[in-house]
A and B are shown apart, each in its own frame.
Chain A
Amino acid sequence: MEHFKNPRNMGEMKDADSVGEVGNPVCGDLMYIYIKVKERDGKEIIDDISFQTFGCAAAIATSSMITELAKGKTLEEGLNITRDDVAVSLDGLPPIKMHCSNLAADGLKKAIENYREKQK
């Protein structure tokens, strides 16, 4: 509830290096994950991250949580964040809402993949 009431890192990032778009408003949720990447000690770090979400409270809370979990992590670590990590960090989600945490994990993954695609 806390992450729904006071979501962290909310809003569009104008100068993002990459965006991950997941979900579909037809199903009731659409999520954008924006990332900014910086190199530190030879590693690519998620320097800044933000989200925009159309969806229920769980979708908003999972969006907020994944930005908290991913901030400062390497891209590799970011890719390894699972829906369970998100759900556990939120002290559990009802089964019907697990797809929301899936969405958040997928959103981050997509943002990172898009970033790597652009670097090629």
Chain B
Amino acid sequence: MNKPKYVYLDYAATTPMDQRVIEEMNAHFKDTYGNSSSLHSVGQKAAQTLVKSREIVASIINANRADIYFTSSGTEADNIALMGVALKNQKKGNHIITSAIEHHAVENTCKHLKKSGFDVTFLPVDNLGLINLEELEETITKNTVLISIMFANNEIGTIEPIKEIGEIAKKHDVIFHTDAVQAFGKIPIDVNEMNIDLLSASAHKLYGPKGVGMLYIRNKGIREGWGKYIEPIMFGGGHERDMRPSTVNVPGIAGFAKAVELAKEEMPKEIERLSRLRDKVIDFVLKNIEDSYLNGHPTRRLPNNVNLGIRFIEGESMVLDLDGQGIATSTGSACSSKSLDPSHVLLAIGLKPQEAHGSLRITVGRFTTEEDIDYFLEKLPPIIERLRKMSPLKKGKNH
């Protein structure tokens, strides 16, 4: 089989930009250089671009345009949501509920809040990665001010019961934030139907530019707006209605809006196509590779996510071997990061550390073809075989 140029199967980490987004941004870099706060016509042109972009980004989650606040990233959006609500509601209560499998942007912000004296509950998940709704409801106290549960997990792709969480939050009058960085633009999201108060998203997971994100903040009172329940964490000029100061990145935001427009158009078709590629990988591996298993939920799963457990070998070796064949993947084995601890997500779903070290994440996207997947599935088995030959771990040998 002919080798494709480079097979990128790490779309959950980041995506290549869509050419149409690049063209849109290039035009804005040239023509929309004004500061959107300026009174002159160049500034007003930038302000107009912002209004239009807000409209497009809002439309994909059925939100009001005025409730979209652009940020520099999904991480920043998560920080504003968590810190902003915690700081503003200290008199009401200091309890925050989140899950054990959040992205570090939420996890570490919660840990920081905990260190600062807030009471944080990290809800466990079952072995498929789902939180337990009854447990969530039981955990709510009169001091609970915020529930932050991710829409879909970045490692194992499990989609949480967001609508049900929204109902519980509404019933108990608790603010509900969801980190939707992985789900946004990939699967349908409706902030009204799902009772979401705060939602974080990022452009670079959606074929848009890096360095652009947004926070949706439901306006819970026409006059007070966000001021009622969330406090800014950065101070400066009055940009983004005093919520997020700093001169607005208009070309980046126009690119984000273009990316959202394209995602909206292609979503139904892409869900079907990507799910098929995803299932092809899962079916092949489970059928042909001994001692392999799927991490995450078999059906409540992002259309583009595969996370495999391959016994007796270590993930980083697989990733490097695959890279040697021109294929990009990722692993929950953290040998490459500072801690050497395997992924907290894989441990939270009950994997043993040595199992978590043997995980391989494959995430597909807009530019993934059937040929790419065939090439990957041709290269994977010999790599696993080679590494297993090297490994002292074997079936029936306990460690």
Interface residues of A (CB under 8 A from B): 4-5, 7, 10-12, 21, 24-32, 52-60, 96, 99
B337, B390, B399: residue with the most chain A Cβ atoms closer than 10 Å: B390
Neighbouring A residues of B316 by C-beta, 8 Å: 56-57
Q: How many residues of B contact A (CB 8 A)?
A: 25
Asked if B236 is at the interface (CB within 8 A of a chain A CB), the reply is no
Residue of B334, B336, B399 touching A25 (CB-CB under 8 A) = B399
A28–B320 touching, CB < 8 Å: no
Question: Which residue on A lies nearest to B391, using beta carbons?
Answer: A54
Interface residues of B (CB under 8 A from A): 312-314, 316-317, 320, 324, 333-338, 340, 342, 352-354, 357, 389-393, 399
Q: A25-B353, A26-B353, A28-B314 are in contact. Are A10 and B392 (CB under 8 A)?
A: no
Q: What's the Cα separation between A11 and B388 when bound, in Å?
A: 10
- Tell me the dominant secondary structure on chain A's binding face: mixed
B317–A56 touching, CB < 8 Å: yes
Given contacts A24-B399, A26-B352, 11 further A-B contacts (CB under 8 A): A4-B320, A11-B390, A28-B333, A29-B335, A30-B393, A55-B335, A57-B316, A58-B335, A59-B314, A60-B390, A96-B336
Residue of B334, B338, B391 touching A53 (CB-CB under 8 A) = B391
Question: Which residue on A lies nearest to B312, using beta carbons?
Answer: A54
Residue of A24, A29, A52, A96 touching B314 (CB-CB under 8 A) = A29
B390–A26 touching, CB < 8 Å: no
Q: A56-B317, A57-B316, A57-B320 are in contact. Are A28 and B353 (CB under 8 A)?
A: yes
Neighbouring A residues of B352 by C-beta, 8 Å: 26
Q: What's the Cα separation between A25 and B108 when bound, in Å?
A: 27
Question: Which residue on A lies nearest to B353, using beta carbons?
Answer: A26
A11–B389 touching, CB < 8 Å: yes
Question: Which residue on B lies nearest to A97, using beta carbons?
Answer: B335
Neighbouring A residues of B389 by C-beta, 8 Å: 10-11
A27–B353 touching, CB < 8 Å: yes
CB distance from B216 to the nearest CB of A (A): 38
B314, B320, B352: residue with the most chain A Cβ atoms closer than 10 Å: B314
Neighbouring A residues of B336 by C-beta, 8 Å: 56, 96
CB distance from A18 to the nearest CB of B (A): 15
CB distance from B316 to the nearest CB of A (A): 4
Q: What's the Cα separation between A53 and B352 when bound, in Å?
A: 19
A56–B353 touching, CB < 8 Å: no
A56–B392 touching, CB < 8 Å: no
